[in-house]
Amino acid sequence: MTDQRAPRDPHAFIAGLPKAELHVHHVGSASPRIVSELAARHPDSKVPTDPEALADYFTFTDFAHFIEVYLSVVDLIRTPEDVRLLTYEVARDLARQQVRYAELTITPFSSTRRGIDERAFMDAIEDARKAAEAEFGTVLRWCFDIPGEAGLESAEETARLATDDRLRPEGLVSFGLGGPEIGVPRPQFKPFFDRAIAAGLHSVPHAGETTGPETVWAALTELRAERIGHGTSSAQDPKLLAHLAEHRIPLEVCPTSNIATRAVRTLDEHPIREFARAGVLVTINSDDPPMFGTDLNNEYAVAARLLGLDERGIAELATNAVRASFLDEAGKARLTQEIDAYTEAWLAP
């Protein structure tokens, strides 16, 4: 992607552009309305019920503080009905942004360990997935991730829920690893990723978000990652950038997330330009949009500004995500064609 003519009105173009999102968290996508509604149901929670106060509450001093706040929202989700409501509303918000396909990262361990029955949990997300597809036309698939800091117990539980044919949900396509990276080396999770891959799931761990490129290398070699969540520190290692580009291993880039969690100081210092210059397949994602005061459309606008993209360059970000997705080939062709048709219609004189 090279510097191109400035788009006529990037926000309007992006708002109508059909998109796919690959790195967006279930609980992290709970809108202020949903969070305040759940907080009102649980007065014992420290999460504010007032959406304005919530904006302040979602301001983080560092990554550890982000995880602490994230878990206080996880604590609000206590029943299968909470799970179903959250999932359906997240799908509604995605549809509003013309997201046709999303791979939503869910951490089942965090909910089952808080007392939600595993079968009821799976039924709740599957019911919401089918309702969203029928009512919004948005296709959802699941990524189950291990909350790494919770250790091997959580890895075992997550691998069991993801590979037991009596439990694994129909929409499950991938297996991930989230939470803090510092003090949580990737190699210990190799046996669990091996089980997930043997069960037909795709490996998509977070790596290089708050630690260096060695964590990205470990995700590739030990966990056989097909995509990398964030991969921000890859820019520090030219050999790693060349490897990612040569082997077409996509990065799930979440620009505003990296600023909000202090992983990167300012957007102008974000390594997304190095990724593009190295020929790495860049996809744009929102990670935990309401918590970071953003949404996917805004992330596309940020990427367009940083990369100096015109409409065709912005559309390429969307087709990159389709190409990097685990959607079936027919679905990929259909969504790519829709993106191309929209872009040509927009540019027609």
| Identified catalytic residue from 21, 209, 252, 299 | 209
Bridge partners for 230 per DSSP: 207
Count how many Cα atoms sit within 13 Å of the Cα of residue 246 in the half-sphere of its side chain: 6
Of residues 143 and 317, the one with the C-beta less far from ligand V47: 143
Q: Applying CB under 6 A, does 25 fall inside the site for ligand V47?
A: yes
Q: Applying CB under 6 A, does 206 fall inside the site for ligand V47?
A: yes
Q: Applying CB under 6 A, does 294 fall inside the site for ligand V47?
A: no
Residue of 126, 145, 252, 299 interacting with ligand V47 (CB under 6 A)? 145
- Closest approach, Cβ 178 to ligand V47, in A, equals 3
Give, as ranges, the residues between 214 and 253 that touch ligand V47 (CB under 6 A): none
Contacting range for ligand V47; rule: CB under 6 A; set: 67-75, 78-86, 212-220, 328-336: 67-75
**DSSP 8-state assignment for residue 150:** G
Query: Residue 70's binding partner, choosing from ligand V47, Zn ion, none, with beta-carbon cut-off 5 to 8 A by kind?
Result: ligand V47
DSSP code string of 151-212: HHHHHHHHHHHHH-TTTS-TTEEEEEEES--TT--SGGGHHHHHHHHHTTPEE--EESSSS-
SS3 288: coil
Which residues have a Cβ under 8 Å from the Cβ of 191 and sit 6 or more positions away?
A: none
Query: Residue 69's binding partner, choosing from ligand V47, Zn ion, none, with beta-carbon cut-off 5 to 8 A by kind?
Result: none
DSSP code string of 200-240: TPEE--EESSSS-HHHHHHHHHTS--SSEEE-GGGGG-HHH
Of residues 209 and 316, the one with the C-beta less far from ligand V47: 209
CA distances from 166 to 119, 122, 123, 290, 326 (A): 9, 11, 12, 34, 22
209 is catalytic: yes
Query: Residue 113's binding partner, choosing from ligand V47, Zn ion, none, with beta-carbon cut-off 5 to 8 A by kind?
Result: ligand V47
Q: Applying CB under 6 A, does 67 fall inside the site for ligand V47?
A: yes
Q: Applying CB under 6 A, does 208 fall inside the site for ligand V47?
A: no
**Residue-wise burial string across 305-334, b where 16 or more C-beta atoms lie within 10 A, e elsewhere:** eebebbbbbbbbbbbbbbbbbbbeeebbeb
Q: Which x/- pattern, by CB under 6 A, does the window 111-140 give for ligand V47?
A: --x---------------------------
Nearest alpha-carbon partner for 255 in 280, 236, 282, 237: 282
- Closest approach, Cβ 333 to ligand V47, in A, equals 30
Q: Applying CB under 6 A, does 108 fall inside the site for ligand V47?
A: no
Q: Applying CB under 6 A, does 110 fall inside the site for ligand V47?
A: yes
Q: Applying CB under 5 A, does 287 fall inside the site for Zn ion?
A: yes
Across the chain, which distance is largest between two alpha carbons, in Å? 59
Q: Applying CB under 5 A, does 181 fall inside the site for Zn ion?
A: no
Number of residues that bind ligand V47 (CB under 6 A): 21
Q: Please give the residue ranges that form the binding site for ligand V47 (CB under 6 A).
A: 25, 28, 67, 70-71, 105, 107, 110, 113, 145, 147, 149-150, 178-180, 206, 209, 257, 287-288
Q: Please give the residue ranges that form the binding site for Zn ion (CB under 5 A).
A: 287
Catalytic residue positions, numbered? 209
